[in-house]
Amino acid sequence: MDEVTILLTLYSIVAGLGISRLVQGVGSMIEARERIGFNWLHTAWLMIVFLAHVVSWFALMRFAKGAHWTVFNAIGALCMPILLYLISDLVVPRISDEQRVDLREYYFSNYRWFTGLMSAFVLLGMLVQVAVERQADWSGGGGLRGLALVVLAAGFSSPRPAVQALQAVALLAIGVAGAAVISIKLM
């Protein structure tokens, strides 16, 4: 097993924990559906975080050959699924047996944490890409990351529902575009 395979394995373990947290949280919300006030923005963020987990894992695979890996680059890469795990844990509310949860209220009381942590994740992804490939790439995934940072900055700065809605739709579109870019590169 080479070093990159070990790194991919560690990344997979942490990403799997984050995805597991999302799935477990959705399961809890389904069980408590009578006590949950639905909000589509919250559901959109569940999908955004899931897409980020999957797309970032596949993006890391492209560095398997010919990349410049150092311990610091590996630490940076491993911090990415850790940030996503934190977002996964935060995006899923704690549900007690008697408590009613309004997902709209929950979303708007945490949106800055969602967008702030996601911004840190995207920025770290840019830095890792530059460190590992030794060049900035604004085509494809690099351009999508830049666009995501702009969208996240707008969402971080405004609690207005219209801004939050546009941010969610834009991030979903960016995530789907990122999946398409990665899919093209794997073929």
Please write the tens of the pLDDT for every residue from 104-133: 999 999 999 999 999 999 999 999 988 888
Place of tokens 């560690």: 10
* Nearest C-alpha neighbor of 104 from the set 34, 146, 45, 157: 45
- Phi (first) and psi of residue 62, to 5 degrees: -70, -15
**CB of 93 within 8 A of CB of 46?**
no
Q: What is the pLDDT of residue 186?
A: 57
Residue type, 178: G
pLDDT for the residue 142: 83
Q: For residue 100, what is the DSSP state? A: -
Q: Which residue has better confidence, 9 or 162? A: 162
33-87 tens-digit pLDDT: 999 999 999 999 999 999 999 999 888 887 766 678 888 988 999 999 999 999 9
Residues of the chain with pLDDT > 90, as a percent, come to: 70
Of 96, 88, 118, nearest in space to 17 by CA: 88
Q: What is the mean pLDDT of the chain?
A: 91
Q: 24 near 95, Cβ under 8 Å?
A: no
Calpha distance 12→182 (Å, rounded): 17
Phi and psi at residue 101, to the nearest 5°: -120, 120
C-alpha to C-alpha distance for 179 and 58, rounded to whole angstroms: 9
For residues 107 and 93, what is the distance between their CA atoms, to the nearest angstrom? 9
14 versus 134: the higher-pLDDT residue is: 14
pLDDT at 69: 82
